[in-house]
Amino acid sequence: MVKKMLLSLALVVALVPFTLAQRVPSNLAQHELSRPQPPVLSQHVVSHDTDTAPSYCKPCLAYGGDFDPNDPNANGLANWNTVVAGEAEVWVPFVVPAGKTATVTGMFVNTLATIGVIDPATTPWSIQARIKPGTPGKIIASGTATATINPTGRNGFGLNEYTVLVKLDKGVTLKGDGQTAYWFDLVPQCTNGSDNNCNAGAIYYESDTEAVRANHGGLSEPNDLSYFNSAFFGVTYLNTDPQSGGCNGIGCDRFSMGLLGKVNQ
């Protein structure tokens, strides 16, 4: 039986006026916005769950786990900066152990995307603290870095999944108390108006990871503490947990995002 599972852009039904949806080119609207029912997961999904961390997470400071398209709560949330759909951000938390510091040397997101291209390849990233509903908190570090994009071999909702990864020119050291979270955001972008890939409807959904989290490990990613922020969707730091409705009540408890680096002794 085909499982009906909601992809994050169904959030538009509740949060975006119809006049705003009309601004999206018709090929994208027909693909994601105008369907009266949630998108249906393809029966021909590919899932490669293993017992080891991804090879690109090295040294692996933290990893939220693999996307599992067969999980009934599997989902994805808009995380992009694009020509056709403005900007949207997913902020994912991690906790540094008490009495320790952690040095972040890179980060990555696994994203369900309409294309395997980002343009430009210099991708913005940021680390923040003290995020609360409706409040961005404090920027700890931010910048842009050259990004790579590579397929994971997984897919869902008719979209292939890719890893977008950056390595930082200078490591960011974070102090930990074992309880307070830092939030990380890495935004795939396709803003080059001269690139047909961008003009044709490039969009990127950050994959979530739910009850069975293959390969997760490293720093703790607290459950139900991620945030969604997007002027395009009319949302200011909305908690993504089911009770807050950030993913319309389906999934998005944790996300398939990771950090490169190490915990300092």
* 228-260: pLDDT as tens digits: 999 988 889 999 887 777 777 788 889 999 999
Q: Is residue 49 part of a domain?
A: no
Confidence label for 186 from pLDDT (cuts 50, 70 and 90):
very high
Whether pLDDT at 153 is above 90:
yes
Residue 217 lies in a domain: yes
Classify residue 17: in a domain, yes or no: yes
Per-residue pLDDT for 75 more than 90? no
**Residue-number span of the structural domain to which 259 is assigned:** 8-43+54-264
| Mean per-residue pLDDT of the chain | 79
Q: Percent of the chain having pLDDT more than 70?
A: 78
Over residues 158-181, the mean pLDDT reads 95
Residue 94 lies in a domain: yes
In a domain, 110, yes or no: yes
Q: Give me the number of domains the chain comprises.
A: 1
Q: How many CB atoms lie within 10 A of CB 88?
A: 26
Confidence band for 143, pLDDT divided at 50, 70 and 90:
very high
Query: What type of residue sits at position 52?
Result: T
Distance set, CA 24 to CA 50, 62, 166, 180, 198 (Å): 38, 35, 29, 38, 13
Report pTM.
Answer: 0.81
pLDDT digits over 10-65, tens only? 333 222 222 233 343 211 222 332 222 232 233 333 344 444 678 899 999 999 99
Structure tokens at 224: 């139900």
Q: What is the pLDDT of residue 201?
A: 83
Position 101 pLDDT exceeds 70? yes
pLDDT of residue 17: 26
Phi-psi map region of 32: left, alpha, beta (phi>0 left; psi -120 to 50 alpha): alpha
Is residue 1 domain-resident? Answer: no
What pLDDT sits at residue 213?
60
The structure tokens listed for 174 are 């974070």
3 state SS for the chain: CCCECCCHHHHHHHHCCHHHHCCCCHHHHHHHHCCCCCCECCCCCCCCCCCCCCCCCCCEEEECCCCCCCCCCCCEEECEEECCCEEEEEEEEEECCCCCEEEEEEEEEEEEECCCCCECCEEEEEEEECCECCECCEEEEEEEEEEEEEEEEEEECCEEEEEEEEEEEEEEEEECCCCCEEEEEECCEECCCCCHHHHCCCCEEEEEECCCCCCCEECECCCCCCEEEECCCCEEEEECCCCCCCCCCCCCCEECEEEEEEEEC
For residues 92 and 183, the answer to whether their CB atoms sit within 8 Å is: yes
Least confident of 7-11, 107-111, 249-253: 7-11
Q: Could you identify the residue written with the tokens 């998005």? A: 252
**What was the pLDDT predicted at 96?**
95
CA-based nearest residue to 6, from 50, 48, 37, 42: 37
Query: What is the predicted pLDDT for the residue at 211?
Result: 60
Query: Does residue 233 lie within any of the structural domains?
Result: yes
- What are 195-231's pLDDT values in tens digits? 999 988 899 999 988 765 667 778 888 888 999 999 9
